[in-house]
Amino acid sequence: MKILLLRFSSIGDIVLTSPVSRCLKKQLDAEVHFCTKRAFAPILLPNPHIARVFSFEKEVSEVVSDLKKERYDLVVDLHHNLRSLRTKLALGRPSRVFDKLNMEKWLLVNFKIDRLPRTHIVHRYLQTVAHLGVRYDGAGLDYFIPPDEEVRLADWSPLLKEGRYVAFVLGATHATKRLPVEKIAEICRQIDQPIALLGGKAEQGAADGIVGPNVVNLCGQLNLHQSASVVRQAGKVLTHDTGLMHIAAAFRKEIVSVWGNTVPAFGMYPFYPTGVDLNTSVEVSGLACRPCSKIGFARCPQGHFRCMNEISTAAIADRLKML
C-alpha cells in the first residue's frame, strides 16, 4: 500500500504521529509518505519509516500536483482542518480523518465540563488506521537525529557531561505555557547540578539574565536536531508543554513537565513505551480558570497568571533531585 499522512504542524504534534508511520511500515510494509509545512520537514526526513516527505511554504497547492501523481491507496488526515480537507478533496483518494475532539475541548475550556476520554492522542492517531489491522506496538515515540547534527557537549561547556546535567526547556509557542523568568532563575538557583538552558531566539534575551555557576545558556544557538541531541544526552529534562517535551519522551528521558494554561487531560502529556512512565507533571490544581485555552495566549486573560505564578519552585527542584 502507498499511504499519505497529513500533519502540517507543529513540532510536538508531528513527533506524536511517529508511531503511525512506524506501525504502517512495520506491520503492513506500506510505503508511507508525509505532507507538512517546510519548516517541519527536517523532523521527518531522517525517519526510516517514511519513504518521501512533501513540504510546502504557504499553501498545500504548491505540492498538490505532485501528490496527485502518487495515486495513494489511502490518505490519513492527522490534522483535520479546512486546509487538510481541501487537500483530500483535491486528491480524490480514499481517506480517514483523526477526531480532534474539538467539542469536548471546547466544553472543558469554556465550561470546565470534562468529557474528554482518558486516551492519549497517540492512540487516537492510530485509530485512523485501525481498519487496516494496524495496532499500537508499544514502542513509544520515535525521533531520529542525523549523525552530523549530534552535539559534542565539550564544545559548549566543560560543565556538560553526558547523563549528568538537567536540560531545562524554556521555549513554548505561547507565553501562558511558560514560567515567568524570575521563577526559572529561582529554580536554577535551587538545583545543584549543571543546567543547559534550551530555547530559540525568542527565549535568548530572557535566558541571558539567568546566570549562575551551574548554568549553560544554549538558547538561540542550536537548531532543533542539535537541541534534541542535548536533550538526549541529559540526565533529566525539565520542560514546559512544548515540542522538546515530546522529543524527550521519545528518548525515554526522566521528565518534569510544567503545565500552565493547558492541562494533561487534553491527552498530550509525555508518551512512553508501554509499561514505562518517567514523567512527573507539575501544575496548580483547582483553579476555576484553568484550562483557559487548548493552545495558549500571549498573556493571562485573567491578569493574575496564577497557573504559573503559584507553581512551587522548591517542589520542582526537589523532584529533580529525586530522579
Tens-place pLDDT, residues 174-204: 999 999 999 999 999 999 999 999 999 989 9
The answer, yes or no, to whether the previous bond of 55 is cis (omega within 30 of 0) is no
pLDDT at position 66: 98
- The answer to whether position 140 is within a domain reads no
Cell of 141: 515515540
Which segment of 40-54, 87-101, 129-143, 309-323 scores lowest on mean pLDDT? 309-323
Question: Do 206 and 164 share a domain, yes or no?
Answer: yes
pLDDT in tens, 206-224: 899 898 999 999 999 999 9
Q: Please say which residue of 64, 97, 132 terminates a domain.
A: 132
User: Which of 66, 99, 132 represents a domain boundary (last residue)?
Assistant: 132
pLDDT score for 172:
83
Three-class DSSP category at 317? helix
Name the average pLDDT for the chain.
97
Q: Is residue 196 part of a domain?
A: yes
Asked whether residue 38 falls in the same domain as residue 167, the answer is no
| Dist CA 154 CA 77 (whole Å) | 43
In this structure, what CATH number is given to the domain that contains residue 313?
3.40.50.2000
User: Taking a C-beta distance cutoff of 8 angstroms, is the pair 62, 85 a contact?
Assistant: no
Position 19 pLDDT exceeds 90: yes
Based on the domain organization, do 167 and 280 belong to the same domain?
A: yes
Q: Which of 143, 186, 177 is nearest to 292 (CA)?
A: 177
**159 in the same domain as 128:** no
Alpha-carbon distance of 210 to 186, in angstroms, equals 9
| Angle of CA points 187, 179, 227, to nearest 5° | 80
Tell me which residue range forms the domain holding 51: 2-132
Residues 128 and 177 placed together within one structural domain of the fold = no
- Residue 16 banded pLDDT, cuts 50, 70, 90: very high
- Show the 3-state SS of 53-115: EEEECCCCHHHHHHHHHHCCCEEEECCCCHHHHHHHHHHCCCEEECCCCHHHHHHHHHHCCCC
Asked whether residue 161 falls in the same domain as residue 307, the answer is: yes
Overall domain count for the chain: 2
Q: Reply yes or no: is the peptide bond before residue 301 cis, omega within 30 of 0.
A: no
Is 246 a member of any domain? yes
Residue 144 resides in a domain: no
How much is the pLDDT for 171?
A: 86
Q: What is the pTM of this model?
A: 0.97
Shared domain check, 121 and 26? yes
Q: Mark whether 115 and 229 lie in a shared domain.
A: no
- Residue 139 maps to a domain: no
Both 168 and 59 in one domain: the answer is no
Shared domain for 197 and 112, answered yes or no, is no
**Each residue's pLDDT tens digit, 150-172:** 999 999 999 999 999 999 999 88
